[in-house]
């Protein structure tokens, strides 16, 4: 079997994208983990699989797999790459694309400047919907991690996020604390751990330790979750510049309704596996 693929990235958060509409695709966790290896494989944070929709009101379905082969519900940077891919591959002509994912429906729009805006849907803040073990909904929750007692926000943006406010993202213990938060028992489906520095009410800096991947150059759903956490805690205004290691995203949320994310994408190369 010869399998065509495209390597893409959104702010350095990189993806292997496979067209499952015009070619047959059979994936296993072992294959995905092998391909994700940056020394012996293609190398990527996540694999995106484009599939035909299961409903008439959607243009496509897409599935998202972490580097360890586990399937997840949503990925903001991946959604932007997905939109650019289906247009460049001539799978669709429209600039607005309706997509179904395991985390819910998305609407993607390719802007005139080439950036992509994604309607990320409504954030879920009820603990059971994150999911997060807590007695009641709150703005901040205590989280005991070894000897540290943290104050965190819990947000679901189609996938679960824990947001921790820090003084300086550069010195934040992402490498050591990130894995402990990711696998914390109070997050029964594991969690993405975001470390957020508030620069001012319109700007944050962010690093994210992603579930099943590790720290990435950028995380779209993590940026949305961090801004939502900042807005509900009255640290931020409704339009926020998010500076990640790989670049900048713009996140907008009124405090109600859907979160909007805008950012760039890039195609790196195309290849064929046999």
Q: Which residues are catalytic?
A: 75, 219
Tokens of 46: 């996540």
Helix (H, G, I), strand (E, B) or coil at 230: helix
Q: Are 110 and 116 in contact (CB under 8 A)?
A: yes
Helix (H, G, I), strand (E, B) or coil at 84: helix
CA 214-220-223 angle, 5° bins:
90
Q: Label the pairing between strands 13-19 and 3-10.
A: antiparallel
Please tell me what DSSP assigns to residue 127: G
Q: Are 1 and 265 in contact (CB under 8 A)?
A: no
């Amino acid at each position: 079997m010869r399998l065509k693929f495209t390597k893409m990235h959104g702010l350095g958060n990189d993806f292997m994208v496979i067209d499952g509409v015009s070619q047959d695709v059979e994936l296993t966790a072992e294959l995905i983990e092998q391909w994700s290896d940056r020394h012996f494989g293609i190398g990527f944070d996540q694999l995106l699989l484009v599939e035909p929709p299961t409903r008439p009101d959607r243009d496509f379905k897409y599935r998202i797999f972490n580097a360890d082969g586990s399937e997840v519900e949503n990925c903001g940077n991946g959604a932007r790459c997905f939109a650019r891919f289906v247009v460049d591959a001539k799978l669709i002509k429209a600039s607005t694309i309706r997509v179904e994912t395991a985390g819910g429906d998305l609407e993607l729009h390719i802007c005139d400047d080439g950036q992509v805006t994604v309607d990320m849907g409504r954030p879920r803040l009820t603990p059971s919907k994150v999911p997060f073990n807590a007695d009641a909904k709150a703005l901040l929750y205590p989280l005991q991690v070894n000897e540290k007692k943290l104050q965190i926000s819990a947000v679901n943006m189609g996938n679960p996020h824990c947001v921790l406010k820090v003084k300086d993202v550069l010195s934040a213990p992402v490498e050591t604390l990130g894995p402990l938060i990711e696998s914390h028992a109070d997050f029964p489906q594991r969690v993405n751990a975001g470390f957020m520095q508030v620069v001012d009410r319109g700007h944050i800096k962010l690093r994210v330790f992603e579930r099943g991947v590790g720290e990435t150059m950028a995380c779209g759903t993590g940026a949305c979750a961090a801004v939502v956490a900042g807005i509900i805690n009255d640290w931020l205004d409704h339009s926020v510049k998010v500076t990640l290691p790989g670049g900048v995203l713009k996140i907008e949320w009124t405090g109600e309704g859907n979160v909007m994310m805008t950012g760039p994408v890039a195609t790196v190369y195309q290849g064929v596996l046999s």
